[in-house]
Amino acid sequence: MRMSQRRSDVVLAPVMQSGDVPLLLLTITQAAQRLNVSRSLLYDLVLSGEMVSIKIKKARRIPVAELEAFIQKQLQGGKDDE
């Protein structure tokens, strides 16, 4: 696909838990695996505000919809520190 072509919205396949119930929130490890990046990089993205996360008591979670939005932003020329 040429870069000048319009890209459609990114939709990730759902992460299923036991009982075939899709997860809405992922752990840092799960989210890092879905993006194929390290946990450290994902924590850096969260701390810099580039990736939205929520805290439930002591547990930090990443909404699946946020992963999709992050990928879409990167495809549209979002911030890249390389």
Domains: count for the chain: 1
Pinpoint the alpha helices (H) of the chain.
Answer: 28-35, 39-48, 64-75
In tens, the pLDDT along 38-65 reads 999 999 999 999 999 999 999 999 999 9
What distance separates the 2 farthest-apart alpha carbons in the chain?
A: 44
Domain assignment present for residue 12? The answer is no
Domain assignment present for residue 64? The answer is yes
pLDDT of residue 16: 56
Element (H or E) spanning 26, and its range?
Answer: strand 25-26
Q: Which long-range contacts (CB under 8 A, 24 or more apart) does 14-23 make?
A: 14/64, 15/64, 22/64, 23/64
Domain assignment present for residue 35? The answer is yes
Domain assignment present for residue 5? The answer is no
- Quote the domain boundaries for residue 38: 22-75
Domain assignment present for residue 54? The answer is yes
pLDDT of residue 77: 83
